[in-house]
Amino acid sequence: MRADIRLELGKAPPPGKRPKEELGEPEQLDITYNISNINRDTPTGTSRNYTIRRLKSEGHEELANKVARKEISTNAAAIEAGFRKKTGAFYPEDINRTARVLLKHFDPDELIEALVKLKRAQRRS
């Protein structure tokens, strides 16, 4: 490009938008927009539609129907079908709140046994 064409600041158009005659070559397309602007026809990830479609394709038709009728959540159905794991909250600033969460998922005696094992392992190291 000729240096004398753009002497004034603020007059340059954005890259890829300059007239062909200034470039001296065919105008190039900005493919970044094309790549990042992909619309998918099929849902992916953790969306409700994706989970229903996956439940059906993996033979869990009844679970898919329950989700469609809003009898159970998509997460509960995915856990029951075995392609998601059940999770729980952890509150490092509040041990009592974390303990209550743990007690929803585990037997109290199992929790005590696990803590005793952890304490023994901690003493050895």
Kindly report, residue by residue over 37-66, the tens digit of the pLDDT: 455 556 566 688 888 999 999 999 999 999
Per-chain mean pLDDT for the chain: 78
Kindly report, residue by residue over 26-40, the tens digit of the pLDDT: 555 555 544 554 555
| Structural domain of 116 | 95-124
* Domain-embedded: residue 57: yes
pLDDT at 18 over 60: no
- Return the exposure string of 41-62: e unless at least 16 CB atoms fall within 10 Å of the residue's CB, then b: eeeeeeeeeebbebbeeeebee
The continuous run of DSSP H or E covering 72 comes out as: none
Lookup: tokens for 12: 């340059």
pLDDT at 77 over 90: yes
Pair (75, 100) in one structural domain: no
* Domain-embedded: residue 12: no
Helix then strand then coil, in percent of the chain rounded to 5, is 50, 0, 50
* Domain-embedded: residue 116: yes
* Domain-embedded: residue 14: no
115-123: long-range pairs with CB below 8 Å, 24+: none
Pair (54, 77) in one structural domain: yes
pLDDT at 3 over 80: no
What's the pTM?
0.51
Query: How many domains does the chain divide into?
Result: 2
pLDDT band at 11 (very low <50, low <70, confident <90, very high): low
Pair (77, 101) in one structural domain: no
Q: Is 39 exposed, middle or buried (0-12, 13-18, 19+ CB in 10 A)?
A: exposed
Pair (76, 101) in one structural domain: no
Instruction: Return the pLDDT at 7.
Output: 44
